[in-house]
Amino acid sequence: MEEARKPRRSRIAIAFGSFNCFEEKIRAEVEAGSLDRIDMLGETGDGGVLRCLRQWEEDGLI
């Protein structure tokens, strides 16, 4: 019963330890030029694919 009440960890949190660790990795790859800044972070740096993934994680969809 107690286990059922715990929030389920997302696949990203399982793979990277936490979503924040994943975000740090993505931002580092953007800075290195490996990933497109606008696609991953949006024009203002707080949107794009990364924001969508964070929202999906918060909503329990991933």
Q: What is the pLDDT of residue 3?
A: 67
pLDDT at 43 over 80: yes
pLDDT band at 25 (very low <50, low <70, confident <90, very high): very high
pLDDT at 5 over 80: no
pLDDT at 37 over 90: yes
For the stretch 27-52, what's the b/e string if a residue is b when 16 or more beta carbons lie within 10 angstroms of its beta carbon? beebeeeebeeeebbeeeeeebebbe
Q: What is the pLDDT of residue 56?
A: 94
Global pTM? Answer: 0.82
Q: What is the pLDDT of residue 30?
A: 97
